Structure 1
Amino acid sequence: MKSIVIKNARIVNEGRISEGDLRVADGRIAQVGGEISVQANDRVIDAGGKHLLPGMIDDQVHFREPGLTHKADMATESRAAAAGGITSYMEMPNTNPQTITVEALEAKYQLAAGRCMANHAFYMGTTNDNIDEIRKLKPDQTCGIKIFMGASTGNMLVDNPETLAMVFRDAPMLIATHCEDSPMIEQNEAIYREKYGEDVPIEYHPLIRSEEACYKSSSMAVAMAKEHGTRLHVLHMTTARELELFEPGPVLDKRITTEACVHHLYFDESDYARKGTLIKCNPAVKKASDKAGLRKALAEDRIDVIATDHAPHLLEEKDNSYFKAPAGLPLVQHALQMALELYHDGVLTLEQVVNKCSHAPAQLFGIKERGFLREGYWADLVLVDLDKPITIERQDILYKCGWSPLEGDTLGSTIDTTIVNGEIVYDQGVISNVIAGRRLEFTGR
Structure 2
Amino acid sequence: MTEELDLLIEGKIYSNGEIVEAYLGVVDGKVAGIWISGTFKYREKRALESKEVALPGMMDIHVHMRGLEQSYKEDWFSGTEAALRGGVTAILDMPNNKPWIRDENTLMRKMEEAKNMALVDYGFYLGVPRSAGELDKVKDFVVGIKIYPDEISDYLDPILQRAKELGLFRIFHAEVEGDEVKGIRTVMKFIEKYGGHITHVSSAEGVRLLLSAKSQGIEVSMDTCPHYIWLTERDIDWRGYVRPRIKSSMDMTVIKSSVKSCLFDAISTDHAPHTEEEKKGGATGIPGLETALPLLFTSVYKGEFPLKAIDLYSRNPADIFGVKKGCFLPGNDADIVIYDYSDRRKIRGSDFSSKAKFTPFEGFEVVGRVSSVYIRGVLALDEGDLKVSRGFGKPIVRGKSFHFE
Q: Same fold (TM over 0.5)?
A: yes
Secondary structure of 2:190 counterpart: helix
Counterpart residue identity of residue 16, structure 2:
E
Partner residue of 1:391 out of 346, 351, 354: 346
Partner residue of 1:222 out of 146, 169, 188: 188
Partner residue of 1:59 out of 45, 56, 61: 61
Instruction: Give CA-to-partner distance per residue, 1:365-390, whole Å, 9 cap, x none.
Output: 111x2111022211111121334222
Counterpart residue identity of residue 145, structure 2:
I
Q: Is the 8 A contact 1:181 1:216 kept in 2?
A: yes
User: Which residue matches 2:142?
Assistant: 142
In the alignment, structure 2 segments of 5+ residues that lack a partner are none
User: Which residue matches 1:271?
Assistant: 235
Note the 1:309-388 alignment, pairs <5 A: 309-320=270-281, 325-350=282-307, 352-367=308-323, 369-388=324-343
User: Which residue matches 2:132?
Assistant: 131
Counterpart residue identity of residue 347, structure 1:
E
Partner residue of 1:180 out of 175, 183, 188: 175
Q: Is the 8 A contact 1:4 1:43 kept in 2?
A: yes
C-alpha separation between the residues in 2 aligned to 1:248 and 1:373? 32
C-alpha separation between the residues in 2 aligned to 1:44 and 1:74? 30
Q: Is the 8 A contact 1:416 1:429 kept in 2?
A: yes
Instruction: Give CA-to-partner distance per residue, 1:302-346, whole Å, 9 cap, x none.
Output: 3110110000111122223xxxx2001011012111222331453
Indicate whether 1:163 and 2:161 are aligned.
Answer: no
Instruction: Give CA-to-partner distance per residue, 1:155-200, whole Å, 9 cap, x none.
Output: xx314x2213333333232210111113xxxxxxxxxxxxxxxxxx
C-alpha separation between the residues in 2 aligned to 1:51 and 1:295? 24
Indicate whether 1:7 and 2:10 are aligned.
Answer: yes
In the alignment, structure 1 segments of 5+ residues that lack a partner are 151-156, 183-208
Question: Measured at CA, do residues 249 and 298 of structure 1 come closer, stay the same or move farther in structure 2, by a change above 3 Å?
Answer: farther
Secondary structure of 2:155 counterpart: helix
Secondary structure of 2:374 counterpart: strand
Question: Measured at CA, do residues 51 and 99 of structure 1 come closer, stay the same or move farther in structure 2, by a change above 3 Å?
Answer: same
C-alpha separation between the residues in 2 aligned to 1:249 and 1:48? 44
Instruction: Give CA-to-partner distance per residue, 1:230-266, whole Å, 9 cap, x none.
Output: 2311000000001122238999x97210000111111
**TM-superposed deviation, 1:59:** 0.2
Instruction: Give CA-to-partner distance per residue, 1:335-361, whole Å, 9 cap, x none.
Output: 1112223314533211x2221011110
Q: Which runs of 4+ in 1 moved over 6 A?
A: 248-251
**TM-superposed deviation, 1:39:** 4.8
C-alpha separation between the residues in 2 aligned to 1:439 and 1:87? 12
**TM-superposed deviation, 1:147:** 0.2
Q: Is the 8 A contact 2:214 2:220 kept in 1?
A: no
Q: TM-score by structure 2 length? A: 0.90
Share of identical aligned residues, percent? 25
Higher mean alpha-carbon deviation, 403-412 vs 67-76, is at: 403-412
Counterpart residue identity of residue 164, structure 1:
L
Instruction: Give CA-to-partner distance per residue, 1:274-302, whole Å, 9 cap, x none.
Output: xx111101111111111111112223343
Indicate whether 1:33 and 2:35 are aligned.
Answer: yes
Partner residue of 1:103 out of 102, 105, 118: 105
C-alpha separation between the residues in 2 aligned to 1:374 and 1:114? 30
Secondary structure of 1:58 counterpart: strand
Higher mean alpha-carbon deviation, 54-63 vs 334-343, is at: 334-343
Note the 1:421-432 alignment, pairs <5 A: 421-432=376-387
Secondary structure of 1:225 counterpart: helix
Indicate whether 1:240 and 2:233 are aligned.
Answer: no
Q: Is the 8 A contact 1:359 1:372 kept in 2?
A: yes
C-alpha separation between the residues in 2 aligned to 1:17 and 1:268? 32
User: Which residue matches 2:373?
Assistant: 418
Secondary structure of 2:297 counterpart: helix
Q: Is the 8 A contact 1:340 1:353 kept in 2?
A: no
Question: Measured at CA, do residues 328 and 54 of structure 1 come closer, stay the same or move farther in structure 2, by a change above 3 Å?
Answer: same
C-alpha separation between the residues in 2 aligned to 1:168 and 1:219? 17
C-alpha separation between the residues in 2 aligned to 1:101 and 1:86? 28
Note the 1:397-408 alignment, pairs <5 A: 397-408=352-363
C-alpha separation between the residues in 2 aligned to 1:250 and 1:7? 40
Secondary structure of 1:99 counterpart: coil
Q: Is the 8 A contact 2:259 2:309 kept in 1?
A: no
Higher mean alpha-carbon deviation, 87-96 vs 169-178, is at: 169-178
Secondary structure of 1:121 counterpart: strand
